[in-house]
Structure 1
Amino acid sequence: MTRTLYLHIGTHRTATTSIQRFLLRNFDALIAEGCLLPFRKPRHFEMINAIFAGQRTIADAAARMNERADSKAPVDITKLVVSDEDICMRKDLSLLGEFREHFDVKVIYSLRRQDLWLESWYFQNIKWQWNPALSHCTFDEFLARRDQFHWIHYDGYVRHLEEVFGAENVAINVFEKEQMPDGPVAAFCEAAGLQALLGNGTEPHVNSSMSAAMAEFARHLPMDEFPPAQRELLRRAMEGVDRNVFGHTGKQSERLMPPELRQAILSDYEAGNRALAQRRFGREALFEQPLPAADAPLAQLAIPQDSQGLIDQFVAPLLRQMVEKGMITAPAAPKKG
């Protein structure tokens, strides 16, 4: 029996973290449904990175996953889910196509309208600072580099997926409320044939952006120079200030583009979006959600320009947060002779 392997490849900012947490929380329920989340990991970036680095072969990865599936006997594991949103950042997925020698491979790819995705991706790059080249850009500088985000040229990228895995094996979800009325987790479960899990509840929104003001403050910090553990402590402290001092408790607005810029950005993707909509959905518009109203308020990427205001509003609250949460501790006193 050939098992089915579902490759959940992104894109980012389409509730991928919520989906991964849902799968991990339901690990045992997945097993009962004949589905394995390999290695009990919500995200499989280590395995995928090792494959592309030449440190692990597809055959070895497939064998290890099948061994894990076999170990669940007498439960008959018929499908597996591998999730890593960074997969879509790779231009050529031909290597992953070799999984077809071992599994019946299905790809799940979620699309978010490019203007909204760019705004959200900007905030995430500032928040996490994993890419120094993008960690300190202004929004205009970030947009000037948008051609490097090849995977949001959806028509071309989906064509590549179809060439590698077969058009019939590529499931496309459109990340809009109207097109996934029960939410992104439910849409994923439907694509993977896991509807039975939905009675267990879905995950809340996670990995929200910082407020625009806090993001602008973070942009000026050298977080990308810090080890991941220290970077995480600082990020948590800033989120604490955002929440407890600024009162930003909900999902933050990510709207940064004035109407004219939004239209100009979308025009760059219009032809490809239309072609994909016609080819895969038999309609003219890929995205159906209306654009923000012309008078919709924009998030303000601004911090005080005077040193006293910056200290009062950001630096002092951040230091208090770090001390109060035990993030800054004094070294132990030396032992007396």
Structure 2
Amino acid sequence: MPEDRMPHPRTVVLHIGRHKTGTSSIQNTLRHNRARLLERGVLVPESLPSNLSGFFLNVFSKRPEKKRHNVQHGFDRALIQAQGQQMLDRLAQEVDGFAGDRIVLSGENACTLKPDEVAQVRDRFATMLAPAGGQVDFRVLLYTRNPVSYASSAIQQNIKKNNTLLEEYKRFVLRNSVGWYQRIHAAWAGVFGAAAVELRSFETACATPGGLIGNFLTANGIAPEGIAPQRANDSIADEIAEFLSSPHMPKRPPDQRGSWSAGFDLSAADQDILFAIRGSKGGLLTASEQAGLWEAVAGDMRFLEQEFGISYRSGDTAGPAPFGAVFVDDLAAALPRLSPPVRRGLLAYLLDRPAPCDPAQTQPGVDS
């Protein structure tokens, strides 16, 4: 085909994270607006899950059987590979019937792939996702977040999911923070080229007139008009995260917890009540832990500022004070509705803490 008759390259957007930067909201928005986006020549594959983290890891990771989800469910490599191939086949079939110029794939755990695994992403998608007789232009996007804010958010989410306790996951997050952005950028820019990889500030995106969703869409050449944002994955209050990790939280016996479970003995009703209590956010690290984290990520912060103009400073994550008026009001409304064991545990936790919250003022008018 003569060069002047070659079809325009198709843009393939690879949104690779980061975890805790609004990825669920982005994915829910893409899914909810799939038909409208398709009318604009943008494919959000219906043949794949909304969150492609499992897809990226199962298809492109060297050892997918070692990933947490697969270990929990007892999936071996043969089964994982078979499922991965089925997803690839469905995607290829869907792309064959697509004539638009843009495909969006979003999976926050894709950013954890190693360089040789990233190369497989490029090699596989360069042919599978290209238009007939054409080529693919890849665009890789990752959102960043203030390290203290990220650490607190990641910790509380794992507690909320009943995966781990506060101190256990805190050590994991702090240990894995050093050089994170530089490693991810090196892996993806080394394969796709630095010009194809962009890091954007989650905080700056949220503060723009169109919010995170508008920022994401415009960054990827998609008009945001008429696209209804879908919020997801609200975090829980620090006070509740600390209670769940405390000795006062009722827990199941170890032999009834399963793999990677903190063992919280919570009914669905108790979860809904506790998770709706508003309170402090972003304060799960002590002052000394925050100082140590800033020191550990200093190199990463210099990298973000020099390469992408993203600037983070200590002290810019202050949120509501713990055990404030909003928390106390929500607590007073929640206590009568909790099951007796959880209510007793929560009151014992409050009594055990040197905090400006007097449980006597929030005692429910029922026997605890």
TM-score (norm 2): 0.66
Q: Secondary structure at the residue paired with 1:176?
A: helix
Check if 1:264 corresponds to 2:292.
Answer: yes
Unaligned runs of 5+ in 2: 1-6, 65-76, 128-135, 325-334, 344-368
Q: Which amino acid aligns with 1:67?
A: Q
2:141 and 2:198 in contact (8 A); partners too:
yes
Deviation at 1:110, TM superposition (A): 0.5
Check if 1:136 corresponds to 2:136.
Answer: no
Aligned length in residues = 288
Q: Secondary structure at the residue paired with 2:224?
A: helix
User: Which residue of 2 is the match for residue 154 of structure 1?
Assistant: 181
1:58 and 1:137 map into 2 onto residues whose CA distance is 34
Deviation at 1:115, TM superposition (A): 0.9
Same amino acid, percent of matched pairs: 22
User: Which residue of 2 is the match for residue 278 of structure 1?
Assistant: 306
Matches within 5 A, 1:60-79: 64-72=90-98, 76-79=99-102
Check if 1:18 corresponds to 2:43.
Answer: no
1:180 and 1:187 in contact (8 A); partners too:
no
1:11 and 1:88 in contact (8 A); partners too:
yes
Q: Secondary structure at the residue paired with 2:225?
A: helix
Deviation at 1:277, TM superposition (A): 1.7
Check if 1:5 corresponds to 2:31.
Answer: no
Check if 1:50 corresponds to 2:77.
Answer: no
Structural RMSD (CA): 3.8
Matches within 5 A, 1:32-47: 32-38=39-45, 39=47, 41-47=49-55
1:190 and 1:117 map into 2 onto residues whose CA distance is 24
Check if 1:203 corresponds to 2:226.
Answer: no
1:99 and 1:150 map into 2 onto residues whose CA distance is 30
Check if 1:188 corresponds to 2:216.
Answer: yes
- Residues 235, 77 of structure 1: alpha-carbon distance in 2 compared, 3 angstrom cutoff: farther
Check if 1:106 corresponds to 2:135.
Answer: no
Unaligned runs of 5+ in 1: 301-310, 320-337
- Residues 256, 172 of structure 1: alpha-carbon distance in 2 compared, 3 angstrom cutoff: same
- Residues 252, 152 of structure 1: alpha-carbon distance in 2 compared, 3 angstrom cutoff: farther
- Residues 108, 292 of structure 1: alpha-carbon distance in 2 compared, 3 angstrom cutoff: closer
Deviation at 1:59, TM superposition (A): 9.1
Residue number among 70, 82, 85 corresponding to 2:105 in the alignment? 82
Deviation at 1:5, TM superposition (A): 1.8
User: Which residue of 2 is the match for residue 335 of structure 1?
Assistant: none
Deviation at 1:237, TM superposition (A): 2.6
TM-score (norm 1): 0.71
